[in-house]
Amino acid sequence: MGKIVLKSVRKSFGQVDVIPSLDLTVEDGEFVVFVGPSGCGKSTLLRLIAGLEDTTSGVIDIDGQDATDLPPAKRGLAMVFQSYALYPHMSVRKNIAFPLKMAGMDPVEAAKRVDAAANVLNLTNFLDRRPGQLSGGQRQRVAIGRAIVREPKAFLFDEPLSNLDAALRINMRQEITELHQSLKTTMIYVTHDQVEAMTMADKIVVLNAGRIEQVGPPLDLYDHPANTFVAGFIGSPKMNLIEGAEAAKYGAKTIGIRPEHIDIAPGGGWAGVVGLSEHLGSDTFLKVKTDQVGTVTVRAGGEVMLRHGDRIELRPQLGKLHRFGADGKVIP
Partner 1 sequence: MARKPSYLARTAVTIAAWGVGLLIFFPILWTILMSFHSEGDAIKSPIEMLTSPWSFDSYAEVQERSNYALHFYNSVVISLGSTLLALVIAIPAAWAMAFVPGRKTKDLLMWMLSTKMMPAVGVLIPMYLGFRNLGLLDTLVGLVAVMTLINLPIVVWMLYTYFKEIPGEILEAARMDGASLRSELLYVLMPMALPGIASTLLLNVILSWNEAFWTLQLTTHDAAPLTQFIASYSSPEGLFYAKLSAASTMAIAPILVLGWFSQKQLVRGLTFGAVK
Q: Closest Cα partner for 222 from 234, 205, 210? A: 234
Smallest distance, partner 1 to C-beta of residue 120, A: 19
Indicate whether 210 belongs to the interface with partner 1 (CB under 8 A): no
Among residues 47 and 180, whose Cβ is nearest to partner 1?
A: 47
Indicate whether 70 belongs to the interface with partner 1 (CB under 8 A): no
Indicate whether 72 belongs to the interface with partner 1 (CB under 8 A): yes
The CA-CA-CA angle for residues 197, 201, 202, to 5°, reads 150
Indicate whether 136 belongs to the interface with partner 1 (CB under 8 A): no
- Taking the C-alpha atoms of residue 51 and residue 87, their distance in angstroms, rounded to an integer, is 20
User: In this chain, which of 52, 183, 209, 264 binds partner 1, going by CB under 8 A?
Assistant: 52
Q: Which stretch binds partner 1 (CB under 8 A): 44-52, 217-225, 230-238, 275-283?
A: 44-52
**190 touches 32 (CB < 8 A):** no
Name the DSSP letter for residue 209.
Answer: T
Among residues 127 and 231, whose Cβ is nearest to partner 1?
A: 127
13 - beta bridge partners? 16
- Taking the C-alpha atoms of residue 271 and residue 25, their distance in angstroms, rounded to an integer, is 47
Q: Which stretch binds partner 1 (CB under 8 A): 74-82, 197-205, 225-233, 269-277?
A: 74-82
Q: Closest Cα partner for 20 from 212, 295, 301, 246? A: 212
Indicate whether 324 belongs to the interface with partner 1 (CB under 8 A): no
Indicate whether 139 belongs to the interface with partner 1 (CB under 8 A): no
Indicate whether 248 belongs to the interface with partner 1 (CB under 8 A): no
Name the DSSP letter for residue 198.
Answer: H
Indicate whether 132 belongs to the interface with partner 1 (CB under 8 A): no
Total residues in contact with partner 1, by rule CB under 8 A: 23
- CA quadruple 123, 126, 130, 131: dihedral sign: negative
- Taking the C-alpha atoms of residue 215 and residue 272, their distance in angstroms, rounded to an integer, is 36
Among residues 176 and 230, whose Cβ is nearest to partner 1?
A: 176
* Conformational region of residue 41, where left means phi above 0, alpha means psi within -120 to 50, and beta covers everything else: left
Indicate whether 111 belongs to the interface with partner 1 (CB under 8 A): no
Smallest distance, partner 1 to C-beta of residue 19, A: 19
Indicate whether 77 belongs to the interface with partner 1 (CB under 8 A): yes
User: In this chain, which of 98, 189, 229, 270 binds partner 1, going by CB under 8 A?
Assistant: 98
- Taking the C-alpha atoms of residue 36 and residue 34, their distance in angstroms, rounded to an integer, is 7
Indicate whether 103 belongs to the interface with partner 1 (CB under 8 A): yes
Among residues 147 and 207, whose Cβ is nearest to partner 1?
A: 147
Say which amino acid occupies 52.
L
264 - beta bridge partners? 314
Q: Give the E-state strand segments of 235-269 in sequence order.
A: 240-243, 254-257, 262-264
**253 touches 326 (CB < 8 A):** yes
Indicate whether 54 belongs to the interface with partner 1 (CB under 8 A): no
Smallest distance, partner 1 to C-beta of residue 9, A: 19
User: In this chain, which of 15, 16, 64, 71 binds partner 1, going by CB under 8 A?
Assistant: 71
Where do contacts with partner 1 occur on this chain (CB under 8 A)? 50-52, 71-73, 77-79, 81-83, 85-89, 98-99, 102-103, 146, 150
